[in-house]
Amino acid sequence: MRESHITQFDVRDYECDLQGIVNNAVYQNYIEHARHQFLLANNVDFAKLTKEGIHLVVIRAELDFKRSLKSGDRFYVTTRISRQSRFKFDFFQEVFRADDDSLMLKAKIVGASISETGKPIIYNGLDHAFES
């Protein structure tokens, strides 16, 4: 299995809700940023692809919340990718609190490569990053 890409973060006060924990919607921002960092680390320029008419889009998001992050927590997101079909790919992501490596969230994000008109297109620029 390929090694996961790791992106590190700190929880900021404004990301927390009235209960003092990170709002559930904020986790989507964390894992999106981690996916973009993963793409950059694999020599995929998201903005350049878009200008070329190739759109990598999320078509499904499955998030399993395990524990809650709090303000000031340091954490990291691991990201791996696997091909689902010629047009679809799965990102497997996990959020861990850094001080004790506790699993906070598990996610599976299904992406697709589409044209500007929304038609599926084959994008092979991530083939080197796919798990076997």
100 as an active site residue: the answer is no
User: Of the residues 17, 64, 90, 99, which is catalytic?
Assistant: 17
d(CA 24, CA 41) in angstroms, rounded, equals 27
The answer to whether 80 and 58 are in contact (CB under 8 A) is no
The sign one gets for the Cα dihedral 80, 29, 126, 77 is negative
Interatomic CA distance for residues 34 and 79, integer angstroms? 7
Q: What is the CA radius of gyration of the chain?
A: 16
Query: Which of the residues are catalytic?
Result: 17
